[in-house]
Structure 1
Amino acid sequence: MKERAIDIAEAFARITSEATGPRDAAKRVVETLCSSAGALYAFVAKEDGNAHGGLAILSAAGLDAATYRRLEQRAPSTAVVRAFEQKEVTYLLINDEPTLDFLVIQGKSVELIAAPFDINEHQSGCVAAAFDKRKLADRSEAEALVRLAALTVSHVIRIDEIRRDSTDQATEDEVAARLALKEKYDISKIVGNSGAMRQVADQVRQIARSNAAVLLRGERGTGKEMLAYALHYASLRARQEFRKVSCAGMPGSLLEAELFGIESQPLKLGAIEQAKFGTLFIDEIAETTPEIQMRLLRLIRDSRFERVNSTEPIRANLRLIFSTAADLENLAEIGRFSTELLYRINAFTIFVPPLRDRKADILLLSEHFIEKYAREQKRKIARISTPAIDMLAKYHFPGNVRELENVIERAVMVCDQGVIHARHLPATLQTAEETATRPASTLEATVAAFERDIIDDALKSSRGNIAKAARDLGTTERILGYKIKNAGIEPRRYK
């Protein structure tokens, strides 16, 4: 024994924690057995259905190339398999084993100690080390070291299998998440039947599979980010990363680092590198500084950029989508936005209309958000009442689709029945006119709105039958007819 057994055991412990994989562990184990434990040669074998004879040699030390090749070819038919069959440490005198004659060393009485190990229920392996029997001082100590070597390799193989299983599961989870996002942002899921939105959907389909930069223009809250996602998941880059950087309110130096990264220790990658082979969505491009605009111009023109604090050009391969709510032409005219950059990003523009110009979509959008938030909040909401829809249609929605979504989310939260009524909408809508809102609602108006909702539901249930609606409400047909007339309700609408 060249080194103390305790030192060799410590070396095996380091291999367990440092090995990069099974082959690396096997290589270091057999080298340690030869260099530190006095083995003449050593090798690691494991069962493998894809290998010749079902047995693979992971690594070997102390053998020349020709002998190693013979071991690979003959191992499945040699006495080494006894260790696998008996599942216990096996001693083999090489000179007495005809199947192992290629491992004989002239002038030495070679004894092979083979220690098996289990990988799983269906797979096992062994570590084998050859010693000169006449010079081996402590046979039991040698056996203990070979056993420990087998335990070391077995442990590393099991860790590697767990890691690979985890990686496979993570990959499966990533694929599932990507498919869910692809379905969520599918072009067909763009909500809207109005002519303006049909045109937007057609434009998205037209440009999605191109690598050309796209500029999304429209007021805040119109759904530009949703369209950016739709463009990405309908593109040839759908399997790659989608990154978003919002320029609004971000200081120039911070935004520059966020986009281009910083050459530092440790290295900080920017969104451009993180979105490699994928899509980068730069929101509110008008908020960028002239310096950033020049760097983006070079990125689009040359497909290259430099990190902050570096002059080394890096090649970029990604698709760029920009958005803005600003008048870029006016900003370029007064010198606050690069004219050349505007020319580059304006090659394909999609204008997203404000909600006030697509009021035909309000009902569809409302039903979509009701379904979404009812599911999230575990509420049973069947529908939204006609007066509530009328109220939404009269409102001008300065915050566009985002404001409508917030309104519906609140309505779902406060709804105490299966129907969203006008009283569940915010006060700003309950007093809304087409272009403005009055400061407050009177008690009389509030009561009238509440009464109209009740009558509306009763007429819907009775399919416009006033007599049945009156019975359901516990009043007379004459009184109900009077209230219907005063409220301006047309019962024939419900038949």
Structure 2
Amino acid sequence: MTDTAAFPLGVTLPGDDFSQCGTGECRVTLLPTLYRLNESISTATDLAGPLGLVLEVMQRDLKMDRGTVTLLDRRTGRISIHDSFGLTEEEENRGIYSLGEGITGKVVESGTPIIVPRLHEDPDFLDRTGAHSGERGQKTAYLCVPIRLGGRVLGTIGGERRYLSRRLLKQDAEFLAAIALMIAPAVELHLIASVERLALEQENRALKHALKEKFHPQSIIGNSKAMMADVYELIEKVAKTRVTVLILGESGVGKELVASAIHYGSDRAEKPFIKFNCAAIPENLAESQLFGHEKGAFTGAMAQHKGHFEQAHGGTIFLDEVGELSSTVQAKLLRVLQDRSIERIGGRGPIRIDVRIIAATNRDLAQMVAEGTFREDLFYRLNVLPMTVPPLRQRGSDVILLADHFVASKSRAYGKDVKRISTPALNMLMSYHWPGNVRELENVIERAVILSDDDVIHAWNLPPSLQAPTADSAGRSVGLDEKLGSIEFELIVDALKASNGNVAAAAEALGLTRRVLGIRLQRHGIDFHDFRTARRHPEASAG
């Protein structure tokens, strides 16, 4: 084997002298170092401590000029320098290899150590870092050993210096191999944690992006004047500010969706959005949940707890049903709005917070102030920019847009193929007063999808509360011609809906000529333009 060839550990080289350390650097003295390294690995909480000690030993005790620890990213196949000495930061950043590339890549690919007695003469030496520029002709040796665990190669330990004794070169390679074996479990844990952390960060970014898209104002269903003027325009304007918003409206109108749209449309979209239902938490727990507590502040406080305001730092907190807060919590909330600080239960001082507050209620807070059940000063602090979400009964054709959206989403959820709502069912939906608003409509459509036996939701699939008696059924009998005309009307309307107002396609679906269908459209007073595409968002949120 020539001087410039790589050779494995365990091979006796010509000229080796095993009776003594030729340079006086006997490695027997390193046994206490191995013990210290093992102790460092067993008590370390991360990889920085053990690797720092490894590199220190290589530089101080093995008298190496340069040393590196590389790690393999199994997802990309990229090998990069994780830590080093003797390299600048720029040189370290350039030390990136692929499997089988250069000496480092070959060690990772094969899982076997490589010793190169004359580094600059080896054809596999790439000098990827650029640290050896101008060093050609030097007789520097290079040792590279794999970090292996359970047959898997995790990275390498590499070091270089000039050796006069081949025996010492071989001993140092064996010493590095022993160190690599010791630190392998810690390296494995580090790689697992890094991969999981990266995956979680990527997932978190994807979820935040999805939420931002879902709760964008354009994704809230509805094109009624009440929504366009009173909600969408305000959301766009308010989202760009940090003003406190009070969302008013009946239960079930979608106040939480509006709050979400404001947060995800603001410059705080990447920060936390914390929701708190003031009516769902008992009075004795609300204070702790909102403002947190210190360990031992009360019976059962076994550890320090950060409240929702601290958790929302930098982002937004949404206080739903704010009118249900007790007088004690109202006083503390007022302090947050005034001073932008909170104090944990049992705490010793205020904690500064940066939180945007969006509150919502279905109650008349002004009336509560008059009755003395809600603090007047808190009301004016919350009522900086009030926004009223209209009830569903005032949103006209939005009922149909929402119903179509719920039909599509519930059909997917239950694995059904319901495609549309029949005209009589639509008429029933439009004539109902919807005391439960959007939430009630969603429940009604979910029930109808479950009960539907074909691809259509019929009037009989709707609950009894929508089955209001008609003038015909209550007052007079209906003749055959009128019944047939009603059925014809429904069939024509359904065909126009299915064809998106295309008269030719509707006529073909009904088995009629376009001319005959045109006559019947006139007879029933139907305008096919009414069935052209409206503003719909099949994947949008309901609000």
* TM-score w.r.t. length of structure 2: 0.66
Query: Match for residue 324 of structure 1?
Result: 361
Q: Which string of whole-angstrom CA distances, capped at 9 and with x for unpartnered residues, describes residues 83-122 of structure 1?
A: 99896375989xxxxxxxxxxxxxxxxxx99562258989
| Distance in 1 separating the partners of 2:339 and 2:470 | 52
Q: Which of 191, 202, 206 is the aligned partner of 1:176?
A: 206
Q: Which of 224, 227, 234 is the aligned partner of 1:194?
A: 224
2:378 equivalent to 1:341: yes
Tell me if structure 2 keeps the 8 A contact 1:113–1:143: no
Shift of 1:175: 1.2
Paired residue type of 1:218: G
The 1:458/1:69 distance shift into structure 2, 3 A limit, reads closer
Which is helix-richer, 1 or 2? 1
Query: Match for residue 107 of structure 1?
Result: none
2:317 equivalent to 1:280: yes
Query: Match for residue 124 of structure 1?
Result: 156
Query: Match for residue 491 of structure 2?
Result: 458
Matches within 5 A, 1:99-110: none
Query: Match for residue 315 of structure 1?
Result: 352
Query: Match for residue 493 of structure 1?
Result: 526
| Distance in 1 separating the partners of 2:82 and 2:249 | 65
Q: Which string of whole-angstrom CA distances, capped at 9 and with x for unpartnered residues, describes residues 439-484 of structure 1?
A: xx9xx99xxxx9999655534467799xx99x99xxxxxxxxxxx9
2:391 equivalent to 1:354: yes
2:49 equivalent to 1:24: yes
2:209 equivalent to 1:209: no
2:417 equivalent to 1:380: yes
Q: Which of 203, 212, 215 is the aligned partner of 1:185?
A: 215
| Distance in 1 separating the partners of 2:437 and 2:103 | 77
Tell me if structure 2 keeps the 8 A contact 1:247–1:287: yes
Q: Which of 45, 54, 58 is the aligned partner of 2:67?
A: 45
Q: Which string of whole-angstrom CA distances, capped at 9 and with x for unpartnered residues, describes residues 14-50 of structure 1?
A: 5445435444222234567999xxx56578822779x
Deviates more, 1:149-158 or 1:236-245: 149-158
The 1:492/1:19 distance shift into structure 2, 3 A limit, reads same
Query: Match for residue 12 of structure 2?
Result: none
Q: Which string of whole-angstrom CA distances, capped at 9 and with x for unpartnered residues, describes residues 298-323 of structure 1?
A: 11111111111113211111111000
Query: Match for residue 14 of structure 2?
Result: none
Tell me if structure 2 keeps the 8 A contact 1:46–1:55: no
Q: Which string of whole-angstrom CA distances, capped at 9 and with x for unpartnered residues, describes residues 304-349 of structure 1?
A: 1111111321111111100001111111112111101100110100
Q: Which string of whole-angstrom CA distances, capped at 9 and with x for unpartnered residues, describes residues 101-144 of structure 1?
A: xxxxxxxxxxx9956225898963336899999xx9x9999875
Shift of 1:162: 3.7
Number of aligned residues: 423
* Structure 2 spans left out of the alignment, 5+ residues: 1-26, 72-78, 95-101, 119-140, 296-301, 497-502, 512-519, 529-543
2:153 equivalent to 1:149: no
Query: Match for residue 131 of structure 2?
Result: none
The 1:46/1:451 distance shift into structure 2, 3 A limit, reads farther
Q: Which of 261, 267, 277 is the aligned partner of 1:230?
A: 261
The 1:146/1:267 distance shift into structure 2, 3 A limit, reads same
SS at match of 1:282: strand
Q: Which of 462, 482, 496 is the aligned partner of 1:425?
A: 462
SS at match of 2:526: helix
Tell me if structure 2 keeps the 8 A contact 1:459–1:494: no
Tell me if structure 1 keeps the 8 A contact 2:69–2:84: no
| Distance in 1 separating the partners of 2:104 and 2:432 | 83
Shift of 1:163: 2.7
Give the aligned CA root-mean-square deviation in angstroms. Answer: 4.6
The 1:177/1:452 distance shift into structure 2, 3 A limit, reads farther
Deviates more, 1:279-288 or 1:123-132: 123-132
Paired residue type of 2:53: R
* Structure 1 spans left out of the alignment, 5+ residues: 61-67, 94-111, 435-440, 473-483, 485-489
Tell me if structure 1 keeps the 8 A contact 2:216–2:265: yes
Query: Match for residue 195 of structure 2?
Result: 165
